[in-house]
C-alpha cells in the first residue's frame, strides 16, 4: 500500500484519526487537509476521538462467487462532532447506538471495531 501524501493517523500516544479544524468556525474536515492545500493556513490538524456511536448502517451480502462473507458498512458519529463512514467489524449485525472505535486497517485505512460493554 502506498503512503498517502498526508497522514490519516497519529499513532502516538494512542492511534487517532486526524482531521482539520477551521480556526474561525471550529468545523471539522475529515481527512485532514494536506500541508500544501490552499486551505491549510486556515486550519489546524487535530486528532479525532476514537469511539463513537452508530448512526446508520447496512449489511452487504456479496455474491457467493466472490467468496466474501456478509459485512456491515455504517456511519459512526464521533465527538467533535464528525460523522464518518466505514466498515463495522466485531459484530455480525450492528445496531443503531452501538459504540465502535476507529482502528487502523491496511486495506481500508481505517475500520470501526465494536466496543464491548
Domains of the chain: 9-47 (no CATH), 51-114 (2.40.50)
Lowest model confidence (mean pLDDT) among 11-20, 69-78, 100-109? 11-20
Q: With 80 as the cut, is the pLDDT of residue 12 above it? A: no
User: For residue 1, is pLDDT > 90?
Assistant: no
DSSP code per residue over 26-90? --EESSPPPTTSTTGGGEEEEEPPSEEEEEEEEEE---GGGTPPPEEEEEEEETTTEEEEEEEES
Q: What is the mean pLDDT of residues 82-107?
A: 95
Amino acid at each position: 500500500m502506498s503512503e498517502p501524501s498526508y497522514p490519516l493517523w497519529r499513532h502516538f500516544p494512542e492511534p487517532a484519526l486526524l482531521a482539520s479544524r477551521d480556526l474561525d468556525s471550529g468545523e471539522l474536515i475529515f481527512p485532514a487537509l494536506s500541508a500544501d492545500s490552499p486551505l491549510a493556513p486556515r486550519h489546524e490538524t487535530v486528532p479525532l476521538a476514537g469511539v463513537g456511536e452508530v448512526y446508520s448502517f447496512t449489511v452487504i451480502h456479496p455474491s457467493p462467487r466472490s467468496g466474501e462473507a456478509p459485512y456491515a458498512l455504517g456511519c459512526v458519529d464521533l465527538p467533535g462532532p464528525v460523522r464518518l463512514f466505514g466498515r463495522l467489524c466485531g459484530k455480525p449485525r450492528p445496531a443503531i447506538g452501538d459504540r465502535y472505535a476507529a482502528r487502523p486497517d491496511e486495506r481500508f485505512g481505517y475500520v470501526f471495531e465494536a466496543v464491548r460493554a
